[in-house]
Amino acid sequence: MSAFYFTLVANSPAAAQQKPAPTAMANKQAALTANEAKVDALLKQMTLEEKVKMIHANSAFAAGGIPRLGIPELMTSDGPHGVRPEQGRDWKGVKDANDAGSYMPTNNALASTWNPELGYAFGTVLGSEANARGKDIILGPGINIMRAPLNGRNFEYLSEDPFLVSKMVVGYIQGIQSQGVSACVKHYAANNQEVHRDDIDVEMSERALREIYLPGFKAAVQQGGVYSLMGSYNKFRGTYATENAYLMNDILKGEWGFKGLVMSDWGSVHNTQNALRNGTDLEMGTDLVLMSKGIDQSATASGETGQPDLVNGSSKDLYERFFLANTALEAIKKDATLVPLLDDKVRRILRVMFATHMLGGTKRQPGAYNTKEHQATALKVAEEGIVLLKNDGILPLKKSVKTIAVIGENATRANSMGGGSGQVKAKYEISALQGLKNELGSNTAITYAQGYKIARGQQADAQLIAEAVAAAKAADVAIVVGGSIHGYDYSKWSDNAYDAEGVDKPDLKMPFGQDELIKAVLAANPNTVVVLLGGGPIEVSAWAGQAKGIVEAWYPGMEGGNALAHILFGDVNPSGKLPVTFPVKLEDAPAHKLGEYPSTPGNPLKQTYKDDIWVGYRYYDTYNVAPQFAFGHGLSYTTFKYDNLSVTPGTKSATVKVRVTNSGKTAGAEVVQVYVHDDQASVKRPEKELKGFQKVFLKPGESKTVTVALDSEAFQFYNEAQKKWVLEPGKFDVLVGSSSRDIRLKGNVTL
Ligand code: NOJ
């Protein structure tokens, strides 16, 4: 196995695309202001009307366009794990469009690789395919914190941990933007659930905001140099996030120095004056959202919607129905102090246009579509992102196995088009069943049983279970492929979806009677491996104790079935690690235990994050709640020994060195995780916080010394009284291990 694995890593086109992991450096926003003189010159030539035309959409995914000045339309497309199929100007789709492309693993799978270089490779695929499709901005990555396990959109997000988010997002953005396409990091900020997402008003402490919910966005801006950012639907401390002066003007554009453009989420602008003044540079989707709600022009104009700002005079043009269109123009004409605000918005849009070669005479890269290289990157991300949760010696399976029973509808079901705006029309999607067939050829007999029926509320189907049990009994090995799903019936996805935009999951249980199915299969054949698909944690406690092997495959993209087979049969040694804690039961999750989910009781549109900074393992570890599978957990087919830890203090910083040895017989990769604990602090601090990690590939017997630099931020907390990050002098424990619950070595440093 080892030789194959290392050949794959070294020679794959994906490896060739990988660039060194980006490190923290000076604010990368400077790249956006490289053409300031040209931007100003263009701005000077524009009439007020033309400027206003730039700051709102002109159709479903396009905006602006001033032919007189050679300014093209700005074309956007979702994101975040493939370029979305053509929606057309009216969002009704485009017949016969050549838009079937690469379907990459979802973001949670990418995060599970803990490999920032793969973030970069992933981004280059998106950027390249965006170019091929004529898109200037990819609406991704989504990086909201996985706070609530039921959030229907967790599959689009990266992690419960802000440090892991920050590290993965930088490569991702730089990969997209290396192709001359803008990334658009979303959804800023505090959009951590889909229930009531349009209007919910989120309250949280300043410390939680700074320590948990903002670091990913800050890294996207300052280290990733992201060109665009999307404001979220929800309110934050009483004001819609997209029009929120504190979030947009003070923090994003002020403190962090963001020079690019802020676009609204589709229909997240609600007020002309607020959007003009408070940071929205480009309004998207308002017309379409109004249309989808059945609100027509006259109803809007007469104020029936409670949105009197949306007055469009006598215009009946659908695309004039924006808060930042005629209404804004009239307001600016009456109040000259608004002109500099308008100019700033247009300037930001023009900057992004120069950076993406839309202006300035530089050539747009042609891009490529679903190439072998893109497929190889999809495969690599899936292989490194699949997490081996449990292995009582059953894995890897032997290729000499004669008969396999593959059970479960997820083994054959396509997931690429499910789930809302993150849909992708995949050129192909290798299912688990197909991947196993590809792996084993004709030497092994593979039988298939559906096992369960996908329909919300569906309980165990006795007939399907009986068929599955019979198949399992007759086989040497059974592989159940189950877990969650993307919405299965797109026309009524809100009724049936589990991992999907616009809805949260009903609960954290294995849906469709799968607990009963798996228990019956385990009883019929103890040589059973359970493979889970999904956007996040799921409850497995009903049978996890009995299963010899459990694998989390997330939504592994177009090469997912092949990647899964490579892992199950040991062509690839698993190296994925959980980016999110699996609780034993939903009630253990801090959003439920300490917080208010989905709303404040008695007030559906209010939500206070009483769980504060106690998100994910910060909660489980500090409050001694045993998880089912811990943050950072992920097994390998080999073993790793840790020794020779040293922690050397610097000026308000430290350097951690640790030797890691592959002490088993199989080549593989380990993610060395470095957590910091503040021994004594004036505020309650978590038991441990991830502050560094490195993925290291080792042949059997090979040792490497891993060096992790901890800068001053690794030791700081956000002091609400002082309104800033502080490092309180004293002793800090440095915990080094294979997961948050598998700490192998402890050191400390006094600063
Ligand atoms: C709404 C979603 O929240 C956002 O992520 C997406 O990019 C837009 N719709 C456009 O599809």
In tens, the pLDDT along 262-288 reads 999 999 999 999 999 999 999 999 877
Query: Could you tell me which CATH class the domain 640-750 is placed in?
Result: mainly beta
State percent of the chain over pLDDT 90: 85
- Residues 417, 119, 508, CA angle at the centre, nearest 5°? 50
The finding on whether 266 has its CB within 6 A of some atom of ligand 1 is: yes
The finding on whether 265 has its CB within 6 A of some atom of ligand 1 is: yes
* 265 in catalytic set: yes
At 487 the pLDDT is 67
> Across residues 334-347, what is the average pLDDT?
98
Q: Which residue has the higher pLDDT, 158 or 454?
A: 158
Q: Report residue 499 CA to chain centroid gap.
A: 13
CA of 537 to the centre of ligand 1 (A): 23
3-state secondary structure 156-210: HCCCCCHHHHHHHHHHHHHHHHCCCCEEEEEEECCCCCCCCCCCCEEECCHHHHH
pLDDT at position 299 over 50 = no
CA of 284 to the centre of ligand 1 (A): 10
At 294 the pLDDT is 55
CA-to-CA distance for 10 and 28, rounded, in angstroms? 30
pLDDT at position 221 over 70 = yes
Q: Whose CA is nearest to atom 6 of ligand 1?
A: 421
Could you tell me which of 437, 514, 445 has the C-alpha nearest to residue 475?
445
**Cβ contacts of residue 533 below 8 Å, gap of 6+?**
410, 415, 481, 482, 483, 484, 485, 553, 554, 555, 556
In this prediction, residue 321 has a pLDDT band, given cuts at 50, 70 and 90, of confident
Q: Whose CA is nearest to atom 4 of ligand 1?
A: 265
The finding on whether 78 has its CB within 6 A of some atom of ligand 1 is: yes
Instruction: Give per-residue pLDDT as tens, 391-407.
Output: 999 999 999 999 999 99
**214-228, 306-320, 549-563: least confident range:** 306-320
At 386 the pLDDT is 99
CA of 434 to the centre of ligand 1 (A): 32
Q: What atom of ligand 1 comes closest to residue 187's alpha carbon?
A: 5
31, 355 Cβ separation under 8 angstroms? yes
DSSP 621-655: HHTT---SB-TT--B-SS-EEEEEEEEEE-SS-EE
Q: Of the residues 138, 199, 230, 264, which should be mutated to test ligand 1's pocket, given the most ligand atoms within 8 Å of the CB?
A: 230
Instruction: Give per-residue pLDDT as tens, 144-159.
Output: 999 999 999 999 999 9
DSSP 337: G
At 506 the pLDDT is 87
CA of 37 to the centre of ligand 1 (A): 33
At 456 the pLDDT is 74
At 92 the pLDDT is 83
The finding on whether 194 has its CB within 6 A of some atom of ligand 1 is: no
CA of 265 to the centre of ligand 1 (A): 6
Which tokens is 420 given? Answer: 């809302």
The finding on whether 637 has its CB within 6 A of some atom of ligand 1 is: no
CA of 119 to the centre of ligand 1 (A): 21
87, 61 Cβ separation under 8 angstroms? yes
Please state whether 237 falls in left (phi above 0), alpha (psi between -120 and 50) or beta.
left
**Among 99, 136, 265, 461, which one carries the catalytic annotation?**
265
372 C-beta neighbours (distance < 10 Å), count: 10
683, 665 Cβ separation under 8 angstroms? no
pLDDT at position 334 over 70 = yes
687 C-beta neighbours (distance < 10 Å), count: 18
In this prediction, residue 362 has a pLDDT band, given cuts at 50, 70 and 90, of confident
Q: What atom of ligand 1 comes closest to residue 421's alpha carbon?
A: 11
Q: Whose CA is nearest to atom 1 of ligand 1?
A: 266
pLDDT at position 75 over 70 = yes
pTM value surpassing 0.75: yes
The finding on whether 421 has its CB within 6 A of some atom of ligand 1 is: yes
CA-to-CA distance for 583 and 541, rounded, in angstroms? 9
**10-14, 371-375, 625-629, 649-653: least confident range:** 10-14
At 10 the pLDDT is 30
pLDDT at position 307 over 90 = no
Respond yes or no on whether the N-terminal peptide bond of residue 187 is cis (omega within 30° of 0).
yes
In this prediction, residue 27 has a pLDDT band, given cuts at 50, 70 and 90, of confident
CA of 282 to the centre of ligand 1 (A): 14
State percent of the chain over pLDDT 70: 91
Mean of per-residue pLDDT scores for the chain: 91
In this prediction, residue 454 has a pLDDT band, given cuts at 50, 70 and 90, of confident
At 496 the pLDDT is 58
At 145 the pLDDT is 98
Q: Of the residues 288, 291, 421, which should be mutated to test ligand 1's pocket, given the most ligand atoms within 8 Å of the CB?
A: 421
Q: Of the residues 74, 76, 78, which should be mutated to test ligand 1's pocket, given the most ligand atoms within 8 Å of the CB?
A: 78
CA-to-CA distance for 145 and 134, rounded, in angstroms? 31
The finding on whether 139 has its CB within 6 A of some atom of ligand 1 is: yes
CA-to-CA distance for 29 and 256, rounded, in angstroms? 9
The finding on whether 439 has its CB within 6 A of some atom of ligand 1 is: no
DSSP 113-142: T--HHHHHHHHHHHHHHHHHTT-SEE---B
pLDDT at position 11 over 50 = no
Residue ranges of the alpha helices (H) in 356-499?
372-385, 432-440, 462-473, 493-496
The finding on whether 76 has its CB within 6 A of some atom of ligand 1 is: no
The finding on whether 186 has its CB within 6 A of some atom of ligand 1 is: yes
Q: Which residue has the higher pLDDT, 723 or 498?
A: 723
CA of 595 to the centre of ligand 1 (A): 26
What are the extents of the domains in the chain?
Answer: 386-572, 640-750
What is the CATH code for 386-572? 3.40.50.1700
